[in-house]
């Protein structure tokens, strides 16, 4: 057994920010399933939304967030996160983060933060590091972690399951005692114990066939929290980003909304700007609306992609502002300064997750959840662009303050060692790969941008069958990270479908042709699921 004061699962913005805040108060283990940088954070492009300009105000940022969230945001959480944003950004800069600056036009020689614009924002308010904001955040946070002797980082360590008192059969309040972790190199399962555990495992894009997310995004945190008995909320609201690069060799490459913020327009293959008829903000309308419009345009015309055109902007500006996007597209033979970029919508962000308050506290004592894995009420039915990095920063700080001030006592629990099956099976990999493919395709086809009751019910039956099969494998065979991820994507797929079936309306990211309108009775209702033991 490994004993620590704080366990942090995940090394993205949420996990690293929290670890840095609690490290002065105890020994911290950061457990991360691949290389330390591998996270959704690392691929963030557009930036962090925060009020830093005189032309902007908290009130406007709050209003834009509430509008995007279509009635389901929790306004107190929205206000807290937005109002505390600037202080957390200042800390990040203090830590060594470099945001892109520009010369102040009215005062040559002086500089200010360059602010980008994205869909649904009424003002320019996105702080960014060109188009590689996430990479710069990871660099700055990991450099700070390396300077902290009380933090130990365990790479290639896969968190399998939380150890909760309820799962161990103890009556009374459910308490998190630690986590079972697979050391991917040795193949051994280790037991990590601490009074405080933070889930910062990010999102679930890999549940869908097409996604902007890297391979780590398999919903592990939600699946673990669910198994441990935590409440999970609003899982039907999966955000599809409208503009993922469409190219047979490109895997999950995003074309940032900031490109539309700088004037790019969406066109169909005939060159028609189809967003003009859809929304007054045209190509910069909120994401749910743009993704649905592209989907409908593709279905109407039979095209397999849409086009994003920014060729009217000077080539030098584009190369300077979007160096990563420009170079990556060029690598696929697309020169964005001269030709439109082929794009398709793809699964991007989970607005729901483990139910928490704005301090990251879950229903399980000692268990916190922050970042994409959590549902604080900031995003409601549709996240406003670039609000997620902001949420992770603010909530990591608040969770750290709570965890320091009220450390949970580990209590007197006997924690059994991990039990796993012993069988090897040469067929295992093909079965795992097949089931992965099947879940991701059926989620794309039946539980995607546009849903119907019949498709959701079909998905529910298929996923339940797959879950049974996976459960057999799970108990009989030696655990591998592929098998564990398969079990997790099946669990979160089932949670998404169950939540979608519960909501008899269309709202934000959940669009069901059987109930195409909003239902006022559901305007303020979260979809909350709890596992029965």
* 239 binds ligand FAD per the rule CB under 6 A: no
From the number of C-beta atoms within 10 Å of its C-beta (0-12, 13-18, 19+), residue 78 rates as buried
Question: How many residues appear in the chain?
Answer: 533
Report the residue from 37, 197, 350, 386 that binds ligand SIN according to the rule CB under 6 A.
Answer: 386
Strand partners for 8? 30, 198
* Strands of 338-396, DSSP E: 341-350, 353-355, 367-369, 374-375
Least CB distance to ligand FAD at residue 221 (A): 6
Cβ closest to ligand FAD, residue 166 vs residue 388: 388
Cβ closest to ligand SIN, residue 10 vs residue 120: 120
From the number of C-beta atoms within 10 Å of its C-beta (0-12, 13-18, 19+), residue 243 rates as buried
Residue nearest ligand SIN, Cβ-based:
46
Cβ closest to ligand SIN, residue 328 vs residue 362: 328
Report the residue from 151, 204, 245, 258 that binds ligand SIN according to the rule CB under 6 A.
Answer: 258
* 308 binds ligand SIN per the rule CB under 6 A: no
Residue 95 vs residues 130, 144, 147, 454: alpha-carbon distances, Å: 19, 7, 11, 51
Q: What is the dihedral of CA 216, 222, 225, 230, to 10 degrees?
A: 170
CB atoms within 10 A of CB 171: 7
Binding positions for ligand FAD, 155-184, rule CB under 6 A: 158-159
Residue 244 interacts with, from ligand FAD, ligand SIN, none (CB under 5-8 Å by kind): none
* 39 binds ligand SIN per the rule CB under 6 A: no
Collect all residues with Cβ–Cβ distance below 8 Å to 93 and sequence separation of at least 6: 99
Mark the segment that binds ligand FAD (CB under 6 A) among 103-111, 161-169, 227-235, 365-373.
Answer: 365-373
Mark the segment that binds ligand SIN (CB under 6 A) among 29-37, 213-221, 382-390, 431-439.
Answer: 382-390
d(CA 382, CA 360): 20
Give the residue numbers marked as catalytic: 287
Report the residue from 322, 349, 477, 522 that binds ligand FAD according to the rule CB under 6 A.
Answer: 349
Mark the segment that binds ligand FAD (CB under 6 A) among 43-51, 398-406, 432-440, 452-460.
Answer: 43-51
Secondary structure, 3-state, 55-118:
CCCHHHHHHHHHHHCCCCCCHHHHHHHHHHHHHHHHHHHHHCCCCCEEECCCCCCCEEECEECC
| CA end-to-end distance (rounded Å), the chain | 26
* 31 binds ligand FAD per the rule CB under 6 A: yes
Segment holding 490, helix H or strand E? helix 481-502
Cβ closest to ligand FAD, residue 31 vs residue 486: 31
d(CA 90, CA 80): 16
Residue 38 interacts with, from ligand SIN, ligand FAD, none (CB under 5-8 Å by kind): ligand FAD
Least CB distance to ligand FAD at residue 360 (A): 11
What region does 70 belong to: left with phi over 0, alpha with psi -120 to 50, or beta? left
Report the residue from 386, 435, 499, 506 that binds ligand FAD according to the rule CB under 6 A.
Answer: 386
Least CB distance to ligand FAD at residue 212 (A): 4
* 133 binds ligand FAD per the rule CB under 6 A: yes
Residue 206 interacts with, from ligand SIN, ligand FAD, none (CB under 5-8 Å by kind): none
Nearest to 162 by CA among 149, 177, 147: 177
Please give the residue ranges that form the binding site for ligand SIN (CB under 6 A): 45-46, 256-258, 385-386, 388
Please give the residue ranges that form the binding site for ligand FAD (CB under 6 A): 9-15, 31-34, 38-41, 43-48, 133-134, 158-159, 200-203, 212-213, 216, 220, 254, 349, 371-373, 386-389, 392
């Amino acid at each position: 057994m490994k004993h620590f004061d704080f366990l942090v699962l995940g090394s993205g913005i949420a996990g690293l920010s929290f670890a840095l805040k609690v490290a002065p108060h105890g020994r911290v283990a950061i457990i991360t399933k691949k290389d330390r940088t591998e996270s959704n954070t690392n691929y963030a492009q557009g930036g962090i939304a925060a009020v830093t300009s005189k032309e902007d105000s908290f009130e406007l940022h709050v209003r834009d967030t509430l509008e995007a969230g279509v009635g389901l945001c929790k306004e107190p959480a929205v206000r807290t996160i937005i109002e505390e944003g600037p202080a957390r950004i200042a800390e990040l800069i203090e830590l060594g983060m470099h945001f892109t600056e520009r010369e102040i036009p009215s005062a040559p020689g002086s500089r200010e933060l360059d602010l980008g614009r994205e869909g649904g924002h009424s003002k320019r308010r996105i702080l960014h590091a060109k188009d590689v904001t996430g990479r710069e955040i990871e660099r700055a946070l990991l450099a700070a972690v390396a300077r902290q002797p009380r933090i130990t980082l365990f790479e290639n360590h896969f968190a399998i399951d939380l150890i909760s008192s309820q799962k161990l059969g103890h009556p009374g309040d459910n308490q998190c005692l630690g986590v079972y972790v697979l050391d991917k190199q040795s193949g051994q399962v280790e037991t990590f114990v601490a009074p405080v555990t933070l889930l910062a495992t990010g999102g679930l894009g890999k549940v869908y066939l097409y996604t902007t997310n890297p391979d780590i995004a398999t919903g592990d945190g939600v699946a673990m929290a669910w198994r441990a008995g935590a409440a999970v909320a609003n899982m039907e609201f999966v955000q599809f980003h409208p503009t993922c690069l469409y190219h047979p060799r490109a895997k999950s490459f995003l074309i940032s909304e900031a490109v539309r913020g700088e004037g790019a327009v969406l066109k169909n293959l005939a060159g028609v700007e189809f967003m003009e008829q859809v929304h007054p903000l045209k190509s910069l309308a909120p994401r749910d609306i743009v993704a649905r419009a592209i989907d409908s345009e593709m279905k109407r015309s039979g095209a397999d992609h849409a086009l994003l055109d920014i060729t009217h902007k000077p080539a030098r500006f584009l190369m300077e502002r979007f160096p990563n996007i420009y170079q990556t597209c060029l690598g696929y033979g697309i020169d964005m300064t001269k030709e439109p970029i082929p794009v398709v919508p793809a699964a991007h962000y989970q607005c729901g997750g483990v139910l928490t308050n704005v301090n990251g506290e879950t229903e399980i004592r000692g268990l916190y959840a922050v970042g994409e894995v959590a549902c604080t009420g900031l995003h409601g039915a549709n996240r406003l662009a670039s609000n997620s990095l902001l949420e992770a920063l603010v909530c990591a700080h608040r969770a750290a303050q709570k965890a320091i001030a009220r450390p949970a006592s580990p209590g007197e629990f006997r924690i059994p060692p991990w039990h796993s099956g012993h069988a090897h099976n040469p067929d295992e990999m093909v079965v795992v790969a097949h089931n992965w493919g099947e879940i991701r395709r059926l989620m794309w086809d039946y539980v995607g941008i546009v849903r119907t009751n019949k498709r959701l019910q079909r998905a529910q039956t298929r996923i339940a069958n797959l879950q049974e099969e996976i459960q057999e494998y799970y108990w009989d065979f030696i655990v591998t990270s592929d098998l564990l991820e398969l079990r997790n994507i099946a669990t979160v797929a089932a949670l998404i479908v169950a939540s979608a079936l519960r909501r008899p309306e269309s709202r934000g990211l959940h669009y069901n042709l059987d109930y195409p309108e909003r239902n006022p009775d559901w305007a303020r209702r979260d979809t909350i699921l709890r596992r029965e033991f």
